[in-house]
Structure 1
Amino acid sequence: MATDYDSPRKTDDDVNEDSIEELKARRNDKSASTVDVDEFEQAEGLELPGADLSNEELSVRVLPRQADEFTCMSCFLVHHRSQLAYERGGQPICKDCE
């Protein structure tokens, strides 16, 4: 965009007046003042911390640790043997925790 450097420049008062006029126009504009409200149906699937989950069933099949896996004694996650960094006092440590 070309700039005309010969045109009169706006003063600080002009800039403030423009912004006030814009704010008034926004206030009068009804579409700008709408609030986005979540519907109740969207919030039904959310679980709050401390919610009673006693009637829920586990939907994931849990497998026992395999022969080529180990449990890191730092993060307590099960990793494949290729992720073993070292053993500290007989306790395996993964590469992420080293």
Structure 2
Amino acid sequence: MATDYDAPRKTEDDSSAGSLEALQASRGGGAQAAVIDVDENDTAEGIDLPGADLSGEELTVIVVPEQSDEFTCSSCFLVRHRSQVAKEKNGMKFCRDCEG
């Protein structure tokens, strides 16, 4: 038997629902309140607006140099642990993710 997949499906729930008013009445008729989780400590200080002048800002991140057991992938330029080396070619190392 052929099935027309473009035809609307009829289920038992559709026959009892009927109209929009019937659906709203079956849901209890009450409006659902949206709950917004707001952190009291969250302020607008951490938000950077596009086009904002950041010339007076100072770098607050401590940059740690590459360690002896790490390498920089020549493809994605991420610093990885030496256990992630997949291939070394002409002195350049490639990580497992790039060589997949």
RMSD of Structure 2 on Structure 1 (CA): 3.6
Q: Tell me the secondary structure at the aligned position of residue 96 of structure 1.
A: helix
Q: Tell me the secondary structure at the aligned position of residue 85 of structure 1.
A: strand
- Deviation of residue 93 (structure 1)? 0.5
Q: TM-score, normalised by structure 1?
A: 0.55
Q: Which amino acid in structure 1 is aligned with residue 84 of structure 2?
A: Q
Q: Tell me the secondary structure at the aligned position of residue 94 of structure 2.
A: strand
Please list every run of 5 or more consecutive structure 1 residues that lacks an aligned counterpart in the other structure.
1-8
Q: TM-score, normalised by structure 2?
A: 0.55
User: 2:17 touches 2:23 (CA, 8 Å); kept in 1?
Assistant: no
Note the 1:68-79 alignment, pairs <5 A.
68-79=69-80
Report the CA distance shift for 1:51/1:25 in structure 2 as closer, same or farther (over 3 A). farther
Tell me how far apart the structure 1 counterparts of residues 53 and 23 of structure 2 sit (CA, whole Å): 50
- Deviation of residue 73 (structure 1)? 0.7
Which structure features the higher share of helix residues? 1
Report the CA distance shift for 1:83/1:37 in structure 2 as closer, same or farther (over 3 A). closer
Tell me how far apart the structure 2 counterparts of residues 67 and 10 of structure 1 sit (CA, whole Å): 65
Tell me how far apart the structure 1 counterparts of residues 14 and 47 of structure 2 sit (CA, whole Å): 53
* Percent sequence identity over aligned pairs: 46
Report the CA distance shift for 1:55/1:11 in structure 2 as closer, same or farther (over 3 A). closer
Please list every run of 5 or more consecutive structure 2 residues that lacks an aligned counterpart in the other structure.
1-11
After superposition, give the CA deviation of every residue in 1:48-89 in whole Å (9 maximum; x if it has no partner).
Answer: 445433222222211112233211111101122222111123
